[in-house]
Structure 1
Amino acid sequence: MRFNTVLCVAGVLLLNLAGSFCQLDVCGRAPFNTKIIGGGNATAGSWPWHVGITLPGIPIFLCDGSLINKDWVLSSATCINKMHTSVDQIVIYLGRRSQFEPDPHQINRTVISIINHPDYNPVTEDNNIALAQLSSSVDFTDYIRPVCLAAAGSVLDEGLSSWATGWGLKDGK
């Protein structure tokens, strides 16, 4: 029995690794990115890894996140934990450009588990990161793609350009 458990765990790890490597050709690629600087409305598909997180009946997104592979979203532990609800009530919208209007490219998924960083501290907000497992895998499209994650041990040079995305407020106010 113990051998079967070890074999199953090894199999799951290999499948997840294989899944991560096979997305290298799509991660971080935004076919419609116009590289808006200084804030402004993004075009559909310009940030295909950006997701909105909310609860049923709430018309705005309560959190943002990034799709990191076909099954997982990376977000803030603080925001997700402040929802004070059962995990399966959390809804994640992918492929959506606006938090106020539906999009023909959007899909949504519920969440089946949340994993907070083991050293997350809600008082100091240290290690403020969480993973949300989607209820079912997503298919990548021009509007839904994963962000690339740095490899373990990566060193990022000072002055390296990066982007921050968020929903902002309606009409920029």
Structure 2
Amino acid sequence: MKRTNHALVIGGTGMLTGVCLYLAREDYSVSVIGRTFSKFKQLHVDSQPNSIFPLLTDYDTDDVDEEVNKAIQERGPFDLIISWTSNYRVLERICEMNHGNASFRLFHVKGSLRYFKDESIRIHSRCNYRKIYLGFVIEESGSRWLTHDEIANGVIKQIRIDEEVGIIGQIHPYEARPR
């Protein structure tokens, strides 16, 4: 069965694993950039057949260009990119490599500090750029960082509602964040 949509998830073998599995259930071919083969093996066990495609590389190396181009040649341009990377230049290159005439969406997952101070990123004209900031949770005993499930579910929600800026958890008051 040929899947109709193609997604790229950068950092999909960690906290975004749930996002990869969701996209696979939604009929996406999911290309996943990650560094650790053992994490890909578990992702394959949990996913539907022929839905997850590992790009075993570090996004901070030159190999990423080759792996991304190969994924585009095999499964077509990305309709959707989900990225948990602080390397904005690599993300810009990946968006430039995403050949095709159609627009695509990029959900850029960022830590809470980036909400207050961020660097610029060049956005391709066909890219609908979305920012998702990861915050924290305040509980009776203090504050804590988000769990992987909370992050994945929050990213999935942002994909569905497609807002330009989303916050998972809270980022105010910033002084209340876990230390």
What TM-score does the superposition give when structure 1 sets the normalisation length? 0.26
Give 1 or 2: higher strand fraction: 2
Give 1 or 2: higher helix fraction: 2
Return the structure number with greater relative CO, CA threshold 8 A, min gap 6.
1
